[in-house]
Structure 1
């Protein structure tokens, strides 16, 4: 399973702290073990159930884009503001890689093989299940905070700098698909 996760996420190597990298990998291993989805499914299923069903952007396409945008944003913020607003790059990258991991528990296949939100996902959306998975693997609160606050559920809490970056990277790669001005 570890090799499968590493194939999905070569970006794990961007996390310099070996312990954090291993725990981040462990969360994905646990999620895949508990999920009806396979690693291959993640490259095929839509990244969201809230947009046009004909949308061809896969879960992994979206996730990788979020991680890459978050990393580049963190690097730029450190280049310009490191003395006033330092970004912990390891926490940022781990949180970006993990922010949607709970969707592996939220999604199921219906009788036609289409991905839908399952009963578990209707009760506990992915920010909550993602935090649960992360805590089971010993992730620090700074990373769990990113997972918990990256989606709309986080609009009622103060976000860390890293959480703001992941939140905006996630929404800037979602909202244009959902609701954009087209002329």
Structure 2
């Protein structure tokens, strides 16, 4: 089994040891159930919507989301203090896990390009991500971030942590979508 700590050094930012391990176990389970490897995640495009020509990898995008959400949360805490509390461990875990369900959604075609598999045609990654996370004991406040980070979350009230992850995710996706006119 791949070392998810090599794939995700940001796991070490989670201070709560139990949550850190639950987050790592979720990635381990996702990789176990996936045809994708850590090396695949470092080379495949972060979204299928931009096609195989996109040079930003899945891991480049995902790690950027974690870093941007983390830095934004630090500023929220600095400026708003206790008026808008942020649980940093929940935020980091949720940001790391937001797209773990894509491991089940994607398959590789005969040329090694990521494409949507049959599983992904029926269940989008927020749903499969929550399922993986719950299997590993991830608490509901983190599962909420996974469930609400994408468009599905527009139908429910998001927590502060979920808003931060959602916006970090979309600010690192929408400019590509606009540039590539998807």
TM value normalised by structure 2: 0.96
1:79-132 Cα deviation digits (max 9, x unpaired): 111211100000000000000000000000123322100010010000000000
Could you tell which deviates more after superposition, 88-97 or 43-52?
Answer: 43-52
- 1:58 to 2:57 alignment: yes
Gaps spanning 5+ residues in structure 2: where?
none
Task: Calculate the aligned-residue CA RMSD, in Å.
Answer: 1.4
TM score, norm. by length of structure 1: 0.96
Q: How many residues align?
A: 181
Q: Which residue of 1 aligns with 2:104?
A: 105
Q: Equivalent residue for 2:87? A: 88
Q: 1:40 — aligned with what?
A: 39
Q: Runs of 5+ in structure 1 lacking a partner?
A: none
Q: What residue in structure 2 maps to residue 23 of structure 1? A: 22
Cα-to-partner distance string for 1:123-178 (whole Å, 9 max, x where unaligned): 00000000000000000000000000000111101100000000000000000000
Distance in 2 between residues matched to 1:6 and 1:48, nearest whole Å: 23
- How far off is 1:52 after superposition? 4.3
Task: Report the equivalent of 2:76.
Answer: 77
- Higher alpha-carbon deviation: 147-156 or 50-59: 50-59
**CA 1:158–1:111 in structure 2 vs 1: closer, same or farther (change >3 Å)?**
same
Cα distance in structure 2, aligned partners of 1:35 and 1:181: 28
Q: Which runs of 4+ in 1 moved over 6 A?
A: none
